[in-house]
A and B are shown apart, each in its own frame.
Chain A
Amino acid sequence: MAMLVSTTINGDATDFSCEADETLLDALRNRLSMTGVKEGCGTGDCGACSITLDGALVCSCLVLGAEAQGRSIETVEGMSDGEKLHPLQQKFLEHAALQCGICTPGFLVAAKVLLEKNPNPTESEIRYALAGNLCRCTGYDKIVRAVQDAAAQMRRA
């Protein structure tokens, strides 16, 4: 049974229709062409589909599209402010915190939530906060450094 779902996505009022058993991930990707949200596993184990739902970090593969009714969604597509990249985006580039880049959108969304809650995380806090995001290319070193650097810049700002 198809359902009509009204949401706010990256600040814009957005309606979409989806099947009742369709995940929010599938709805975002297939109905709204928001392919910045990636599918690595579909079972909540890799974090590539990370988004926020009313500010809470979630795997969109573990949310039904129907559950998004009336709620606010943010994805990597909404991170930069026009031409101006979010400090995390900028630092990921500068530190080469991505190689293939498939995990990057999920990491950015998760790191943004982390820094909003904890502007000055320790290395260990960063590592545990990002443990739900798998990266197979970098060994995480440069990702952690990019987050540290972005956090420092955001604290100065």
Chain B
Amino acid sequence: MAFRSDEDKKAYWQKNLNLMFVLLVIWAVVSYGFGILLRPVLDAIPVGGVGLGFWFAQQGSIYVFLAIVFIYAKKMRELDREFGVDDDE
């Protein structure tokens, strides 16, 4: 463990949890929200003769999942560096 202080350790973990929370909210909104629960609302916006809700359920959510994973990897790398706990040799 290479944290400068216990506060640093807590701050690092808290920032990680905050980032995870935001991304997991987006994860849930695009799939359970846009794809299932809010489909009747979103289908008012036509995509391919059906609607945006259908598109999110079969296509859009997957693209957003991809973005979430890469954004998390990038942000965490920055956070690791900021706190000096990255694993680059």
Partners in one complex: no
